[in-house]
Amino acid sequence: MRLSMVFVLLLCQLSLSLIWLLQPEQRSAYEQFVPQDVLGLMVLTHPPTRLDFLEHSSVGRWFDLVAQDLEERIPDEVREQVVSLFKDELESVWLLIHHLEGRPEGSWRIHFTGLLKPRPLQRRALELRIEQVVKDVFGAVQTSEHQNVRIYRGRKPGQVIYQVQMPDFLLVSNSEEGWQKTMRTIAGEEASLAEMTSFRRVQAHLRMEEGLFLYFKANRIFPLFPEFGYLIRWNQEEISEDYYEVK
């Protein structure tokens, strides 16, 4: 789904990286909301409006990533909305990758849930921006509501986005099973990622809410690959990277 293309592209590219260095422990409240059985988690804090930082990272050099090429894969109208979203309304995003669904033509559908934390006083603006992005991607949209859940449906099969109002963030998902499992985790009815020993080890070594953090259970897809955490931090032109592998 084009709505998640930027995040999905980052996840796929970073899943092959092997870097090193350690950092002190840092804990956040949001990991309590992440179902334990997710395939991957990405946390993007104070997101930049451009992807230039990737070009200066080890991953960017290894895979010869060019920010302009990546951005041009997103339709112009959607890219403009996403840039405004990152610049004006969004403080951080937690992207939960539930699983990958294979398609007959050989492509993959990524089942995701996003926890979007707005900047101060920007919650309503964030909601309107998300609605506009969905309309730009889907075209004609049918909207329905049930309690605090808003559902956007496009004309094509599988075009659906669920939006749930939460006190401190906006939950957005393309997976009915995924967002419902996330809600049960938030309610304490299912185990969270924070209770998982291997994730706590990653969390103890990497600062999750500084830049771009990725946690990926690569061994669930590629048996020879490890479960790992990876972090990119940027400060103007300076890029630093940390990696922790669960052994």
Residue 148 has pLDDT above 80, yes or no: yes
In sequence order, the β-bridge partners of residue 246 are 227
> Closest Cα to residue 228, out of 27, 30, 34, 39?
39
**What is the number of other CB atoms lying within 10 angstroms of the CB of residue 114?**
24
Integer Cα distance of 100 and 192 in angstroms: 20
pTM of the entire structure?
A: 0.82
The answer on pLDDT for 136 being more than 60 is: yes
Q: Tens of pLDDT along 36-76?
A: 999 999 999 886 767 777 777 777 777 677 777 777 777 77
Q: Which of 48, 37, 74, 23 is nearest to 201 (CA)?
A: 23
- Residue spans of the domains in the chain: they are 2-134+163-246
Does position 99 have pLDDT exceeding 60, yes or no?
A: yes
Q: Where are the alpha helices (DSSP H) in the chain?
A: 5-14, 52-55, 58-62, 67-72, 76-84, 123-138, 176-186, 197-205
CA–CA distance, 35 with 191 (Å, rounded to integer): 6
Residue with tokens 């309309």: 135
For residue 219, pLDDT over 50 is answered with yes
Q: Three-state SS for 139?
A: coil
